[in-house]
Amino acid sequence: MEESTLPPQSRDASKVSLINLPIEIKLMIIDILAKQYDGWFYSRETHDDLKGIAHSSRVFYQLCFRPRVFYATISLDPSLIELFKLGGLLEHHDGDIRSLQLNHVPLSYADENISDGHENSICWLRTGIQALPLFSTIRILYIAYGVPNVIERNAFFAILRVLAPLQALTVLRFHVTVHYNRLYQTYQDIYSNLSSTNQQFLGEEIHPNEVEAHMAEHLPNFTFPKLESLHISLAGAGQYELDLPTPHPEQGRFYHKLLMATPRISTLEIKWIDIEPIPHDHETPQNLDQKLTILDSIPLDTIFPHTNRLEIETSNSRISRDFEKIVTLFPNLKYLTIKLPTGTLLTNQWEFNSTLHQPIRKLKKLQYLILPWPRSLERGSYSMRGLTHMCHEWHKTDTPYLHSITFCGEKFPYSDYST
């Protein structure tokens, strides 16, 4: 076998020429690698490529973290977490990472071995969360994960315990998909089949009446003093256990702890939707509190005076009866948005009732208001004339700064209302 005739200096020259490429070309190379690795599916080859770049060419990661602001965002998954732990990247970012996204493995109930699915999903979540101390200077954090409903509470507090030291956070986006597919499944059913590492991460089951004691012991001074924007998105997947005395969605009464730790928050987005809604032939249980699960759990004497923007999206139109709660908690709102997701518009109704909407008129600083199009299953949508009259009346008497009222979403194809 013949030895290569390429002179050593030529090989060195090729490396130098790569380093000396225009910065735009270097960033294009990084883009190509990033697109090969999308955070959901990865190959060993792609992992090795990224690891090789991280350990052999400092210039690439120096490019990522310094010359371009938008490269200060990292999307973490297991292989990249390992790279940071190995020191391949940590020495290069030097506190320049400002935005972090924790990817997750989707939890599928189609797997033949559901225990392995739980183990893998929780392992991904734990690995990402426990890597957060490597990025103590991040300002923006996005966390997305899916869990079975019976371990929802423990997973939430396991995350909070790690988040607590991140005092520099200004934006936090929290997306949780809760799976209700397994009827009568208990916490121990899942916990007993997990690895010891994942068991230690979740801890012993936290019961509803133990939340306050758990907070006092493990998170006594939990707060994000600089947080300005909070997004909490809760999605329910699978059929609810409608035959149980207390349906599992009641577990949602602990997410408000996150909101209570943000004294200076200016923007709040809350999303609570059903990926697979309750069947039409089942009557929605009265104790199934989906409308303002987070806000309803906040003590009555609490006020968020710095919040000027609130957006709520919910699968349950009964939120139209809770404007008084919104006005009490957020008296200085300038932007208020209420949305019903597509798919609920023809099964839910949004009442047009001057008494129910009356609290909105107390928001003296309100400038922009977005509401679902008012409609009734029995009589169809309301006419534009009635809505116009209401808007003029609000602006004239109570909300002088109101610039815009938008009614969004589908309307029924007919209307019996003339006022």
Mean pLDDT computed over 389-412: 78
Give me the domain span that covers residue 388.
303-419
Mean pLDDT computed over 2-19: 47
Mean pLDDT computed over 47-72: 46
Q: CB of 107 within 8 A of CB of 121?
A: yes
The helix/strand count (H/E) of the chain reads as: 16, 12
Q: Which range among 2-16, 138-152, 197-211, 317-331 has the greatest average pLDDT?
A: 197-211
The whole-number pLDDT of residue 16 equals: 47
Q: CB of 27 within 8 A of CB of 63?
A: yes
- Give the C-alpha separation, 130 to 122, whole Å: 12
List all residues 6 or more positions away from 220 whose beta carbon is below 8 Å from its beta carbon. Answer: none
- Residues 230/233/234/238 CA torsion (nearest 10 deg): -170
330 in any annotated domain? yes
The whole-number pLDDT of residue 399 equals: 85
Residue-wise burial string across 297-327, b where 16 or more C-beta atoms lie within 10 A, e elsewhere: bbeeeeebeebbbbbbbbbbbbbbebbebbb
Asked if pLDDT for residue 310 goes beyond 80, the answer is yes
Domain count, the chain: 1
The whole-number pLDDT of residue 202 equals: 95
Q: How confident is the model at residue 343 (pLDDT cuts 50, 70, 90)?
A: low
Asked if pLDDT for residue 357 goes beyond 50, the answer is yes
Strand ranges across the sheet with 140-148: 73-76, 99-102, 140-148, 171-179, 229-237, 267-274, 309-314, 335-339, 368-372, 404-408
The whole-number pLDDT of residue 78 equals: 58
Residue type present at position 50: L
Q: CB of 116 within 8 A of CB of 88?
A: no
Each residue's pLDDT tens digit, 215-270: 999 998 889 999 999 999 988 776 554 444 444 444 457 888 999 999 899 999 99
Asked if pLDDT for residue 363 goes beyond 80, the answer is yes
pTM of the full structure:
0.75
314 in any annotated domain? yes
- Give the C-alpha separation, 381 to 254, whole Å: 36
390 in any annotated domain? yes
36 in any annotated domain? no
Each residue's pLDDT tens digit, 141-160: 999 888 888 899 999 999 99
The whole-number pLDDT of residue 380 equals: 53
Mean pLDDT computed over 359-379: 80
Asked if pLDDT for residue 71 goes beyond 90, the answer is no
- Give the C-alpha separation, 94 to 64, whole Å: 12
Q: Which of 32-41, 81-90, 382-391, 405-414 has the lowest mean pLDDT?
A: 32-41
Asked if pLDDT for residue 408 goes beyond 70, the answer is yes
220 in any annotated domain? no
Q: What is the full DSSP assignment across 135-187?
A: GTT-SEEEEEEEEEGGGHHHHHHHHHHHHTT-TT-SEEEEEEEEE--STT--H
70 in any annotated domain? no
290 in any annotated domain? no
